[in-house]
Structure 1
Amino acid sequence: MRPLRIGLTLRILGVLVVLGVAVFPLYWMIVTALSSNSDLFAEKARLVPDFSQFGVFIDALAEGKALGWLRNSLVIAVGTTVLSIGLGIPLGYALSRFSFWGKAIVTVLLLFTQMLPEALMVVPLFSLFRRFGLLDSLGGLILVNSAFVLPIVALILKGAIDGIPRALEESARVDGARPLTVLTRINVPLIAPSIAATAVIAFFHAWNEYVFAVTFIFTPGKQPASVGIANFIGELGTPIQTVMAVAFMFTLPAVVFYLFAQRHVVAGMTAGAVKG
């Protein structure tokens, strides 16, 4: 019994250490945001937030810019997630279930896209977006983010669909189900954990994206939070408390979304790893 208790204690300690490492950056952002200038530049760091300085959060929201940035980021992230999953499900299904010429080449090309850095594509995409009138629009950012995250979404969903027995689909076809019905009524519910995992990947990619956002968006009111926070950095001074307050508000929705979907993430990432 004693070795069992020791092992359990060590596991609990390990979980607490990992949890502390993960939560500490959020805690330190709160402490920094709720610190006065004298506390920030004192010899000893302040370890407990000063809630009398909570007005920095109210001021950041009252100005309207931070709230607008967060709204834009949410629109871009949700739009990218919906579009990439909506296109990734049929693409993953086609790669998994249909045989066609060049199927292996398509799969390799999807993998190859993940090797291309975003900065390499800025100039050609800028010219393309200017031609089609997609510059300075949230829709343009949704399209470009979806294009970059779609390959990994499709490949993850392909692996999940590979693990579904074909006999289930054949039974549905015998009963008169059409291909679209088979996909939506049989495959989609079975790969729900993988869809949740890809939703987290797509959401985080779009939520944190900076390069395309700072290049393609010109109007300050259309900027996402990833770009808006960078605008606080000035030549003569930077309001550190305001930056940390907005950064905390920018981080919190992503953390909440991950906590909401995290129980499906591990199952979704491992789905299809073992076929049969």
Structure 2
Amino acid sequence: MTRSTTLGLVLRVIGVLIALGIAVFPLYWMLVTALSSNADLFASSPRLIPDPGQIGVFGTALADGKAIGWLVNSLIIATGTMIVSIGLGIPLGYALSRFSFRGKVIVTIVLLFTQMLPEALMVVPLFSLFRRFGLLDSLAGLILANSAFVLPIVALILKGAIDGIPRELEEAARVDGALPLGILLRINLPLIAPSIAATAVIAFFHAWNEYVFAVTFIFTPGIQPASVGIANFIGELGTPIQTVMAVALMFTLPAVVFYLFAQKYVVGGMTAGAVKG
């Protein structure tokens, strides 16, 4: 190994460590804040090491069961959104990729256009629609709202992945008598599994972190997700910062762990449709 190669390797390692530190520091700072006394929080010099003596703050945050309920609600909403968006995105992406019909280009453009609209712009019409159909203040309504918002990007990613599958495979299956549904289930789905995993992660994270729809459509505290529940700690006279950070850390860690396990599928799935086979 030459000197220049060694120097390049060292610089890359240093760069990776710096990037890792930047990514991990917010989580570490939440832990430090949660495990700090009031005196440490308002001291002139910040505390950089967690105080193990303050570990009881996590027990306090979980004592009344509200935080656990928020996390469970968030899990239900995120999982439901993931299932609905994938279940509808697969046939929609397949139709856009394999079938020719009038208005196909317009449908694709509309799907792209929806990604330019902020959630806040859709709150009022969705609120009116959900009130008419009795979907307000329910987890099912929130799942539908999140699924509607994330479905276009799921369908477009899956369309790109299906575009990369050689049509000869489907033609051979048709010769053997396979129907379009059988071709989709037995040929396309196994080949686009990485893209399905990537879109599942995207849908899950969107619903897990979503706040605007949740705070607008959910009124009952018992069915609020964690993204809204954490905001309830903010009071007029005071805010328990340590408790807020403890719950926020518990809300963040499951998503981080989930992403660490799924990141290879996200990278593989996002690039699956980049080059046609």
TM-score range, shorter chain: over 0.9
Offset at residue 180 of structure 1 (A): 1.5
**Which position in structure 2 is the counterpart of 1:249?**
250
**Which position in structure 1 is the counterpart of 2:192?**
191
Offset at residue 229 of structure 1 (A): 0.4
Match status 1:145 vs 2:150: no
Offset at residue 85 of structure 1 (A): 0.6
Aligned to 2:233, the other structure's residue is in SS state: coil
**Which position in structure 2 is the counterpart of 1:85?**
86
**Which position in structure 1 is the counterpart of 2:109?**
108
Offset at residue 54 of structure 1 (A): 0.7
The aligned amino acid for 2:76 is: V
Offset at residue 115 of structure 1 (A): 1.2
The aligned amino acid for 2:214 is: A
Match status 1:227 vs 2:239: no
What is the TM-score with the length of structure 1 in the denominator?
A: 0.98
Alignment of 1:45-84 (within 5 A): 45-84=46-85
Deviates further, 215-224 or 189-198: 189-198
The aligned amino acid for 1:211 is: V
The aligned amino acid for 1:53 is: Q
**Which position in structure 1 is the counterpart of 2:43?**
42
**Deviation per residue, 1:131-175 (Å, 9 max, x gap):** 100000000000000000000000000001000001111122222
The aligned amino acid for 1:199 is: A
Alignment of 1:236-275 (within 5 A): 236-275=237-276
**Which position in structure 1 is the counterpart of 2:98?**
97
Structure 1 unaligned regions, length at least 5: none
The aligned amino acid for 1:98 is: F
**Deviation per residue, 1:8-48 (Å, 9 max, x gap):** 11111111111111110000000000001111111111111
Distance 1:104 1:7 in 2: 47
* Percentage of matched positions with identical amino acids: 83
**Which position in structure 2 is the counterpart of 1:155?**
156
Distance 1:259 1:81 in 2: 18
Distance 2:220 2:254 in 1: 24
Distance 1:268 1:159 in 2: 10
**Which position in structure 2 is the counterpart of 1:123?**
124
Aligned to 2:265, the other structure's residue is in SS state: helix
Over the residues paired in the alignment, what is the CA RMSD in angstroms? 0.9
The aligned amino acid for 2:111 is: L
Offset at residue 188 of structure 1 (A): 1.0
Distance 2:160 2:7 in 1: 39
The number of equivalent residue pairs is 276
Distance 1:174 1:109 in 2: 35
Distance 2:28 2:240 in 1: 19
Offset at residue 200 of structure 1 (A): 1.4
Structure 2 unaligned regions, length at least 5: none
